[in-house]
Chains A and B, each alone.
Chain A
Amino acid sequence: MKLSDDVNFQSWSEQLYKIMMNADRQGASDLISLSMTKGLSSEQIIVKLLDPALVKLGILWEKESVSLAQTFVAAKIAEDILLRCVPEVSMAHNNPVVIGNIEDDFHSLGRRIVATFLRASGWNVYDIGNDVPAEDFVDKALEVGAVVIGASAMMQTTALNIRKLREVIDSRGLRGRIKLAVGGAVFNWRPDLVAEVGGDGTANNAIGANALFLKLQAEAKGALIQ
């Protein structure tokens, strides 16, 4: 019998979730250290402790009951765990994806949190920063072979700048082959804006970004096959 057989994963994940809600980064680190001494593998820590805690956090986010502090610390905890565990885990698909804030938008926090969660889910994230012209998104995607671009904007005026990115993708004949994910606070306030700026989809929060990007990647690869 292995030491890890003693571990009640559900209970430990619940503990991790509570630690995240208390924005207790050190507490999370202590819990992961303890789980390692109990013999949990890196993959078990990610799949059985971290993932369920993040899913629960995502559900709470939908109800708008999560603060900025909790979100930020949850992302940092996820990042900390991944830094400790990912080198040993071979489950990452490592597909490239390009993300950035659209031209004139400088609200980097949300984008950085999304990058963290995408990396946690195995993506090879090319984060090209703030205030990025539309052409640069597409150039980078072509350079690294990404089929999904994530464009972030916090406000209505800057979100409308994403229309130019849509135009560049289309004008280069890449519609369907490169998918455009859009995100940022304004898209939660008014979901109709996703279609208005030419987005192919959005997620309500950073935790949902992986599912969205996987879906868009599948659609893009389907388009390539056709």
Chain B
Amino acid sequence: MNASTVWLSCGVLRDELGELYRQGQISGELRFLDSMLHMDPLQLQTKLKESLGQPGPSGGRLILVYGDCCGRMLDLVREYRVGRVNAINCAQMLLGRTRYRELMKAESFILLPEWARRWKEIIQTELGLSADVAHDLMRENRSELVYLNTGLAPVPRLELAECAAYTGLPCRIEPVGLDQLLNFLVEAESAASIRSKGEVGP
């Protein structure tokens, strides 16, 4: 891992990246944006552009720790000549491709720790789903809630129970390590080009 790498990440992985950093598995600088930007892809794109336009690490790399969360994510990578983890979303980063596909085939609805804590904000406020509609929608499209327990925060049992009741889905907890996430990060850093000195944007 390169000391001059900047990791620009969705805040949903703040604890996990922080832990890998603390363990010395990654080095460099961690930068985070609000995870709730995920609910507004255009706003996320704007914020990413602002961040990518700031001076980056000279002689180093900038890696986006983002899934495909806005309409022009791949274009941003090309335009600003930065790296990006090769994952669809944050759940796939934690689970790896194989387990993610298995859970999707099983029609699981995945909750990361931060999403679980903020479920009301997402389901009620951002998506505008009443209990009746959430119940119908989730029961028709999903089979279960799966909370990914990275072990870095207490399991929010009350919130999970509330979310399960609101959506009508059973909820279970799946332990998940940080190995898959680290693999994605290492792969992205290896593939990313090194920025020339003073390079700040497109």
Interface, chain A (partner B; CB < 8 A): 23, 25, 67-70, 72-73, 76, 104, 106, 108-109, 112, 130-131, 155-158, 185-186, 189-190
Inter-chain contact B74/A72, CB cutoff 8 Å: no
Q: Are B141 and A68 in contact (CB under 8 A)?
A: no
Expressed in whole angstroms, the Cα–Cα distance for A11 and B32 within the complex equals: 52
List of B residues within 8 angstroms of A189 by Cβ: 41-42, 70-72
Q: Which of B113-148 contact A (CB under 8 A)?
A: 127-130, 132-133, 136-137, 140-141
Residues of the A chain whose Cβ atoms lie less than 8 Å from the Cβ of B42 = 189
**The 10 A-B residue pairs with the shortest CB-CB distance in the complex, in nearest-first order:** A189-B71, A155-B68, A106-B104, A67-B128, A157-B68, A69-B128, A69-B133, A190-B71, A69-B129, A72-B137
Cβ contacts under 8 Å, B68 to chain A: 155-158
> In whole angstroms, what is the CA distance A130 to B128 when docked?
25
Residues of B at the A interface (CB closer than 8 Å) are: 41-42, 67-75, 88, 101, 104-105, 127-130, 132-133, 136-137, 140-141
Residue of A nearest to B100 (CB): A106
Q: Which residues of B contact A108 (CB under 8 A)?
A: 141
Asked whether A72 and B72 contact (CB < 8 A) given A67-B127, A104-B88, A106-B104, the answer is no
How many Å lie between the Cα of A130 and that of B141 in the bound state? 11
Please, could you name 21 A-B residue pairs with CB atoms under 8 Å apart, sorted by A?
A23-B130, A68-B128, A69-B129, A69-B137, A72-B133, A72-B137, A109-B137, A109-B141, A112-B140, A130-B105, A131-B105, A155-B67, A156-B72, A156-B73, A156-B74, A156-B75, A158-B88, A189-B41, A189-B70, A190-B71, A190-B72
Chain B, Cβ-Cβ closest to A160: B74
- Residues in A whose Cβ lies below 8 Å from that of B140: 112
18 further contact pairs, Cβ within 8 A, besides A72-B136, A158-B88: A23-B130, A67-B127, A69-B128, A69-B133, A73-B133, A109-B137, A109-B141, A130-B104, A131-B105, A155-B67, A155-B68, A156-B71, A156-B72, A156-B73, A185-B41, A185-B71, A189-B41, A189-B71
Contacts of B73 in A (CB 8 A): 155-157
- State the majority secondary structure of interface residues on B: helix
Chain B residue contacts of A70, Cβ below 8 A: 128
- Least Cβ distance of A103 to chain B in Å? 10
Asked if B72 and A23 make an inter-chain contact with CB atoms under 8 angstroms apart, the answer reads no
In the bound complex, residues from chain A placing their C-beta under 8 Å from that of B74 are: 156-157
Q: Which residues of B contact A185 (CB under 8 A)?
A: 41, 71
- With a cutoff of 8 Å between Cβ atoms, the chain B residues found around residue A157 in the complex are 68, 73-74, 88
CB distance from B137 to the nearest CB of A (A): 5
Name the distance in Å between B99's Cβ and chain A's nearest Cβ. 13
Q: How far is the CA of A130 from the CA of B103 in the complex (A)?
A: 12
Docked complex Cα distance between A7 and B130 (Å): 32
CB of A115, distance to nearest CB on chain B (Å): 12
Q: Are B88 and A69 in contact (CB under 8 A)?
A: no
- Residues of chain B with a CB closer than 8 A to A130's CB: 104-105
- List residues of chain A with CB within 8 A of the CB of B132: 25
In the complex, which of the residues B75, B88, B128, B130 has the most CB atoms of chain A within 10 Å of its own CB atom?
B88
